């Protein structure tokens, strides 16, 4: 009998450009001081969770958040970063270890934030003043309206959801507990899939920074519970 599996989603703590109210997207900025505090807080809330696998965006703010969560963990397992490069993958497997005492950590561009195109680096309030609050809200929160030369949430989901199904969902079906450290929109797309949120409802879905979202599934992958820590 497989045990209940848990999926924990954590949006990275506040980034420096979150603090400056700028569109970030694929600009690889670090956490702000507050963001570091939020990541540490998330780690303390997850201190006693025993994860079997971890997934993280390739972007610095998500990686930093995961590192602070790991630092706060009481787990005796050692996180091992898994790399996609063929030579690195081959070389890093050439060791003798106790796999039961390790947590594989997979980095992926598929889990990265949506690409904001021409908006990247712009101040959000000034962008509202230029284009109108309604238009900016469409760009930020709608499902299938693209910002200029950027990704819509639909575009983002076309990379996150196949990755989720191939790797994360597979782990959950095996009864594993999984942690994902990623971004507001990549996580919105996953939440949309997991909770069956409609594209009409998705504009109202906000993922807070540094707040773990915990899902519990039965062995048939029926969602039993959701809570925010």
> Whose CA is closest to 181, among 108, 80, 121?
108
195 catalytic, yes or no?
no
> Is 67 annotated in the active site?
no
Instruction: Name the active-site residue from 12, 110, 151, 183.
Output: 12
Integer CA distances (angstroms), 3 to 149, 212, 221, 224, in order: 45, 21, 11, 13
- Least Cα distance to 112 among 152, 161, 165, 59 occurs for 59
Of 37, 72, 102, 113, the catalytic one is: 113
Q: How far apart are CA 12 and CA 31, in angstroms?
A: 8
Other CB atoms within 10 Å distance of the CB of residue 225: 10
Phi, psi angle pair for 61, to nearest 5°: -65, -35
Write the DSSP string, 39-75.
HHHHHHHTTT---SEEEEESSHHHHHHHHHHHHH---
Point out the residues that are catalytic: 12, 113
């Amino acid at each position: 009998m497989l045990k209940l599996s848990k999926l924990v989603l954590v949006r990275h703590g506040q980034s420096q450009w979150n603090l400056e109210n700028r569109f970030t997207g694929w600009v690889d900025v670090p956490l702000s001081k507050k963001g570091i505090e939020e990541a540490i807080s998330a780690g303390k809330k997850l201190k006693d969770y025993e994860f079997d696998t971890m997934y993280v965006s390739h972007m610095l703010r998500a990686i930093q958040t995961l590192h602070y969560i790991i630092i706060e963990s009481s787990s005796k397992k050692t996180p091992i970063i898994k790399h996609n490069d063929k030579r690195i993958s081959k070389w890093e497997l050439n060791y003798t270890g106790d796999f039961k005492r390790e947590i594989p950590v997979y980095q992926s561009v598929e889990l990265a934030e949506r690409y904001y195109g021409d908006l990247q680096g712009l101040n959000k309030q000034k962008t509202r003043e230029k284009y109108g609050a309604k238009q900016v809200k469409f760009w930020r929160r709608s499902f299938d309206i693209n910002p200029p030369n950027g990704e819509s949430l639909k575009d983002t989901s076309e990379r996150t959801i196949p990755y989720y199904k191939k790797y994360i969902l597979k782990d959950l079906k095996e009864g594993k507990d999984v942690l994902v450290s990623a971004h507001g929109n990549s996580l919105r797309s996953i939440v949309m899939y997991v909770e069956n949120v409609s594209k009409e409802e998705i504009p109202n879905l906000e993922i807070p920074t540094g707040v773990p979202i915990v899902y519990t599934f039965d062995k048939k992958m029926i969602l039993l519970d959701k809570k925010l820590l």
